[in-house]
Amino acid sequence: MKKLIIDNIIFQWQKAGGVSAVWYEIISRLLKRDLPVEFIEYEHSCLNKYHKRLDIPKCRILKTVSARYGAIKRYLPVNVSSKEPFIFQSSYYKWCRSKNAINVITVHDFTYEYFCHGLRKWIHHWTKSRAIGKARRIICVSENTKNDLIKFFPAIDTSKISVIYNGVSDAFRPLHPSLRYDENDKFLIFVGNRAGYKNFDLAVEAARATGLKLYIIGQRLCGKEKDRVEKLLGQNYVDLGFVSNERLNMLYNKAYALIYPSSYEGFGMPVIEAQKAGCPVIAMQGSSITEIYGKGSLLIKDEDLGQIVEKIKTLEEGDFRGKVIDEGFKNAKRFSWDKAFEAYLDLYKQL
């Protein structure tokens, strides 16, 4: 395999998040192999919860990029001097201008293209467009993301595209029955950011309609969000902020259901995490959710509170909840980071 250089810029941009989780899993496996791989690091990456868990040897660090002028540097191509061809994989839409670079990118979603507006959308799409245009190979995390890629870039050479599903961390698993769901302590859980298309308000309204406590995982609520949630739920909610995978797994195990009413996902990692932990998932069909969810017994058709409440109530019927959990266990087995890593490695070896 040719030398592989991975640009770790995502760990500077995020403190947590799905893309950071992807690269933590891939990089941690690369470090366990005797492979020709080096990394471009960035100042302040240590603030990222996933980067903190990586132990990249100094001898593997090609260079560390200063945070100075970071807002500009994030949009500029990378310079690497090499007399031999090498593979350059950015963790997030950067490309290498070296004549010997073989650029590879991973496309996670088209959230900006669908939901953002103005300058922010234009800059992101311009950056993504340049990276896609320079890429020898393009990895999409789902068939839905591949279809979106072709939609927004109809002239693209589809032979360059490979679909490699994300995996799911081994941190998510069913715990001892004494640590699992207790019908005397029912609560719902919402995981992820709360951008408009995530439909967080639907989760809050579902908690109010059913009288169940809502646990909120992700960025802490801002003042306006807190006022809104307390107006609807009073004190019947818990704002936990970001939590470790181990804590999140415990919450999945204990939760009555994950409420995930997002109208768009490139993949939808919390769905598989919850299923692997044995937590029923109420989600909205469409985008990649239909593709990765498996048997859709708890999928809703649109942004309808009544459908969510109905799905919550059906979990109380006989052994239906147990059947849903078993279906989730079976579906989650389709997704493995070891499998994803080997697919990445096979692609690199072809270049």
Judgement on whether residues 219 and 139 belong to the same structural domain of the protein? no
pLDDT of 313 reads 95
Judgement on whether residues 130 and 16 belong to the same structural domain of the protein? yes
Judgement on whether residues 253 and 340 belong to the same structural domain of the protein? no
Residue 16 has pLDDT above 90, yes or no: no
Q: Are 165 and 106 in contact (CB under 8 A)?
A: no
How much is the mean pLDDT over the chain? Answer: 94
259 phi/psi in degrees, rounded to 5: -100, 115
Judgement on whether residues 238 and 301 belong to the same structural domain of the protein? yes
Structural domain that includes position 33:
4-167+336-349
Largest CA distance in the chain: 67
pLDDT of 87 reads 98
Q: Which two tokens stand for residue 48?
A: 């990222």
Taking Cα atoms as reference points, which of 272, 275, 267, 262 lies closest to residue 328? 275
Q: Average of pLDDT values for 91-117?
A: 95
pLDDT of 73 reads 77
pLDDT of 345 reads 98
Judgement on whether residues 24 and 109 belong to the same structural domain of the protein? yes
Residue 90 banded pLDDT, cuts 50, 70, 90: very high
Taking Cα atoms as reference points, which of 232, 161, 155, 219 lies closest to residue 190? 219
Judgement on whether residues 88 and 115 belong to the same structural domain of the protein? yes
Q: Which two tokens stand for residue 338?
A: 């070891």
Distance CA 169, CA 334 (A): 13
Q: Radius of gyration (Cα) for the chain, nearest Å? A: 21
295 SS3 class: coil
Q: What is the pLDDT of residues 136-180, one digit of tens each?
A: 999 999 999 999 999 999 999 999 999 999 999 999 999 998 889
Q: What is the pLDDT of residues 31-62, one digit of tens each?
A: 999 899 999 998 878 788 888 889 899 999 99
Judgement on whether residues 53 and 122 belong to the same structural domain of the protein? yes
Q: Calculate the CA 64 to chain-centre distance.
A: 25
Neighbour tally for 245: CB within 10 Å: 16
Judgement on whether residues 265 and 321 belong to the same structural domain of the protein? yes
Q: Would the pTM of this model clear 0.75, i.e. be above it?
A: yes
pLDDT of 332 reads 97
Task: Report yes or no on 127 lying in a domain.
Answer: yes
pLDDT of 147 reads 98
Question: Which of 66-70, 193-197, 215-219, 249-253 is predicted with the least confidence, judged by mean pLDDT?
Answer: 66-70
282 SS3 class: strand
Q: Calculate the CA 90 to chain-centre distance.
A: 16
Task: Report yes or no on 326 lying in a domain.
Answer: yes
Read off the CATH number of the domain in which 52 is found: 3.40.50.2000
Judgement on whether residues 103 and 194 belong to the same structural domain of the protein? no
Distance CA 268, CA 272 (A): 7
Judgement on whether residues 34 and 93 belong to the same structural domain of the protein? yes
Q: Are 90 and 132 in contact (CB under 8 A)?
A: no
Count Cβ neighbours within 10 Å for each residue of 159-176 and write b for 16 or more, e otherwise. Answer: eebbebbbbbbeebebee
21 phi/psi in degrees, rounded to 5: -60, -40
Residue 106 banded pLDDT, cuts 50, 70, 90: very high
pLDDT of 48 reads 82
Judgement on whether residues 53 and 184 belong to the same structural domain of the protein? no
pLDDT of 336 reads 97
Strand order in the sheet with 281-284: 237-241, 213-217, 187-191, 257-260, 281-284, 299-300
Distance CA 346, CA 308 (A): 41
Amino acid identity, position 88: F
> Across-strand partners of 4?
37, 87
Q: Average of pLDDT values for 308-323?
A: 94
Q: Average of pLDDT values for 78-83?
A: 92
96 SS3 class: strand
Residue 74 banded pLDDT, cuts 50, 70, 90: confident
DSSP 103-156: EEEEE---HHHHH--HHHHHHHHHHHHHHHHH-SEEEESSHHHHHHHHHH-TTS
User: For the chain, what is the domain count?
Assistant: 2
Residue 68 banded pLDDT, cuts 50, 70, 90: confident
Task: Report yes or no on 46 lying in a domain.
Answer: yes
Task: Report yes or no on 212 lying in a domain.
Answer: yes
Task: Report yes or no on 172 lying in a domain.
Answer: no
Residue 318 banded pLDDT, cuts 50, 70, 90: confident
Q: Average of pLDDT values for 291-301?
A: 92
Judgement on whether residues 153 and 253 belong to the same structural domain of the protein? no
Q: How far apart are the first and last CA of the chain?
A: 8
Residue 70 has pLDDT above 80, yes or no: no
Distance CA 213, CA 225 (A): 16
